[in-house]
Amino acid sequence: MDISNTKTLIVGGGSGMGLALARHCLDAGAGVIIAGRSADKLHHARETLGNPATLDTIVADITREDEVAALFERIGQLDHIISTAADIEGAYQLLPALDLKAAQRVVESKLYGPLLLAKHGAPRLSSTGSITFTSGIAAYRPAARGSVVAAVNAALEGLVRALAVELAPIRVNAVSPGWVDTSIWAYVAGDRKDEMLNAMAERLPAGRVGRPDDIASAIGFLMRNGFTTGTTLHVEGGHRLV
């Protein structure tokens, strides 16, 4: 399926994987709307992408239903919805130190937010449209300090399968990235970011950690492939094998 002349909403497209996907879609001739909570990030994304006429940015918090409803009222009809958003600040802690509010922010951004995007966005999608969410390797290779993220990623993949049935023929899928070199590692590893990524690169069958473009390419496949739905596409360099 050709995505030129389509309209795509990317939530969390102000940086990392979402920003790489925005560039991928723009290069393919699609119109792109990037939504996120930070006006500064959205401004930086627009500048980074060269301020194209086919790009719009909207400040919106997907954990607030009124803002999600208003977002789709503004956008109108569209073809694809993607969310790479995740608020994991403070969530990577051992249980004795875990702050419940930090855990709740993960649930709100990675589970309730996608649920609201599907609720209010599906009626706006074309019958050949798609919804793609982002889970992650933590659901399959959980580690100490990562219990909340592991649980939410697994729950999101269950939501994807249910929505694929309920919203058919709209296609609903998830991409599950492995370790990808993005700014999110500032919350996960702090000053040990490079050390941890290099150690993982040596373990992985692919011989390196992921790049944002790897994930953007995978999401692009799910947008284009009209026979894939209810699926989690693993893009993790073989991490589940080691």
Instruction: Express each pLDDT in 36-95 by its tens digit.
Output: 999 999 999 999 999 999 999 999 999 999 999 999 999 999 999 999 999 999 999 999
Residue 27 tokens read as 């290069």
Say yes or no to pLDDT of 35 above 70: yes
pLDDT band at 187 (very low <50, low <70, confident <90, very high): low
Hey, how many other C-beta atoms are within 10 angstroms of the C-beta on 198? Answer: 11
8 A C-beta contact, residue 12 and residue 38? no
Residue type, 37: R
Say yes or no to pLDDT of 18 above 70: yes
8 A C-beta contact, residue 104 and residue 154? no
- Mean pLDDT, all residues of the chain: 96
Distance CA 136, CA 168 (A): 24
Whole-model pTM: value is 0.95
The predicted model gives 132-146 an average pLDDT of 95
State the burial class of residue 145 (Cβ atoms within 10 Å of its Cβ: 0-12, 13-18, 19+): middle
Say yes or no to pLDDT of 195 above 80: yes
Distance CA 213, CA 17 (A): 7
Most distant pair of Cα atoms in the chain: their distance: 51
Which residues pair with residue 81 across a beta bridge? 9, 131
Residues in Cβ contact with 190 at an 8 Å cutoff, skipping those fewer than 6 apart: none
Residue whose pair of structure tokens reads 């699926």 in the numeric block = 231
The percentage of residues in the chain with a pLDDT greater than 90, rounded to a whole number, is 92
Residues in the chain: 242
Domains and CATH numbers, the chain: 7-184+212-236 (3.40.50.720)
Residue 87: per-residue pLDDT: 94
Say yes or no to pLDDT of 188 above 80: no
Say yes or no to pLDDT of 28 above 80: yes
pLDDT band at 31 (very low <50, low <70, confident <90, very high): very high
Which residues pair with residue 11 across a beta bridge? 35, 83
Which residues pair with residue 36 across a beta bridge? 59
Closest CA to 134 of 33, 215, 23, 40: 215
pLDDT band at 190 (very low <50, low <70, confident <90, very high): confident
Higher pLDDT, residue 194 or 140: 140
* Residues labelled catalytic: 135
Distance CA 44, CA 41 (A): 5
pLDDT band at 132 (very low <50, low <70, confident <90, very high): very high
Say yes or no to pLDDT of 192 above 90: no
